[in-house]
Amino acid sequence: MQTHNVNKTTGLIIAAVIVCALGVAAVAVWRMDPAGNDGSGLSSRYSYDDQDAEIADPKLIEYDRIAEIPLEMVKPHAIVVDSQDRILVAGDEVVHVFSSDGEKRVDFSVGGSPTAIAVAPQGAKTPGRILVATGDVIRWFDATGKPEGTWQLSGEKPVRITSIAADVTDVFVADFGNRVVHRLDAEGNTVQFIQHRSTKGEQAEFNIPSAFFDVAIADDEVLRVAHTGVNQIESYTYDGDPLGSWGVASARPNGFFGCCNPAHFALLPDGRYVTAEKGIARVKVHGADGKFVCLVADPKTLARPVASSEVSEIRLTTKWIDVAADSQGRVLVLDPIAKHVWIYEPRPEETE
Query: How many angstroms separate the CA atoms of 247 and 340, rounded?
Result: 29
Q: Quick check: 230 pLDDT over 70? A: yes
| 12, HSE (Cβ side, Cα atoms, 13 Å) | 6
DSSP structural state of residue 95: E
Residue 72 pLDDT > 50, yes or no?
A: yes
From CA 331, how far away is CA 327, in angstroms rounded? Answer: 10
Look at residue 43 in the predicted model and tell me its pLDDT. Answer: 38
Predicted pLDDT of residue 299: 83
The pLDDT of residue 202 is above 70: yes
The whole-number average pLDDT for the span 168-192 is 96
Which residues touch 75 (CB under 8 Å, ≥6 apart)?
Answer: 91, 92, 113, 336
3-state class (DSSP) for residue 98: strand
Q: What pLDDT does residue 56 have?
A: 66
Q: What is the pLDDT of residue 199?
A: 66
Neighbour order of strands in the sheet with 190-194: 161-166, 170-175, 180-185, 190-194
Amino acid at 67: A
- pLDDT tens for 82-130 read 999 999 999 999 999 999 999 999 999 999 999 999 999 999 989 999 9
Least confident span in 4-13, 27-36, 328-337, 339-348: 27-36
Say whether pLDDT at 60 is over 60.
yes
Q: Which residues contact 213 (CB under 8 A, 6 or more apart)?
A: 162, 163, 174, 175, 176, 179, 206, 225, 226, 228
Identify the residue with better confidence: 5 or 222: 222
More confident residue, 50 or 212: 212
Least confident interval from 6-10, 295-299, 322-326? 6-10
Q: At residue 59, what is the residue type?
A: K
For the chain, what percent of residues have pLDDT higher than 90?
A: 69
Q: Which of 155-169, 296-310, 330-344 has the lowest mean pLDDT?
A: 296-310
Report the SS3 class of residue 117.
strand
Q: How many CB atoms lie within 10 A of CB 243?
A: 12
Identify the weakest region by mean pLDDT among 35-44, 96-105, 328-337.
Answer: 35-44
Confidence of residue 37 (pLDDT cuts 50, 70, 90): very low
- From residue 46, how far is each of 120, 213, 255, 256, 261 by CA, in Å? 38, 20, 13, 11, 12
The C-alpha atoms of residue 183 and residue 57 are separated, in whole angstroms, by 41
Contact 161, 136 (CB under 8 A): yes
50: pLDDT confidence band, cut at 50, 70 and 90? very low
Is the pLDDT assigned to residue 176 strictly greater than 50? yes
* Average pLDDT in the chain: 83
Model pLDDT, residue 320: 75
Single pTM value for the model: 0.82
Res 238 pLDDT > 50 = yes
pLDDT band, very low/low/confident/very high, at 303 (cuts 50, 70, 90): low
**How confident is the model over 286-311, as a mean pLDDT?**
78
pLDDT digits (tens, 9 = 90+) for 241-276: 999 999 999 999 999 988 899 999 999 999 999 999
Rounded distance between C-alpha atoms, residue 175 and residue 81, angstroms = 21
